[in-house]
Chains A and B, each alone.
Chain A
Amino acid sequence: MAILDISVDSFASQKAFAEANGGINFKLLADFHPKGAVAQAYGIYNEERGIAGRSSFVIDSEGQIVDARVYPPGELPDPQELLGIARGS
């Protein structure tokens, strides 16, 4: 099981975020060079604002997407629910 958290952000601010949260047990990835390329590949990049839309994807052990969600403003992913889907995939 792996949890990957991606933002269109520089490595330096990602590191600061991880440290500010007392060390995180999952990978923070910077989608920065070129900016937003992975977010674009997943179809959730907001060109106008230059940010990734809040979204989640559960990928099974064969590399297939089994669950894809985009969250409206104010709504956050439920980590336990996503982990449950991943465990069952």
Chain B
Amino acid sequence: MVAINIMPAQNEMIPKLRAQGKYTFPVLVVDNKDYARRNFGVLAAPYDMLLDAGGKRAFLHYAYPGDGKEKEKVVEAEIRELLGLNPFEDLEPDRIRK
């Protein structure tokens, strides 16, 4: 996982945030508040993209209505799919892959 702070004015808050959350993933910074919009179409956060091995966007999570836990399950299924695992293994082993 890689995070990108889209608000350069808040860069100074990154170390504290990382320490509080014990995050180990890299947090990238940008020098312009329009960078994420111009380059990735990001106009609001949080906004998550899942990239495949070729650097292609396999999944985009933004503003989907509903329950947070359900959303987490979907993102987990999407990650498992990209890793070549059964996306729903905990629900029903091997049903889809077979």
A and B together in one complex: no
Footprint of A on B, CB under 8 Å?
none
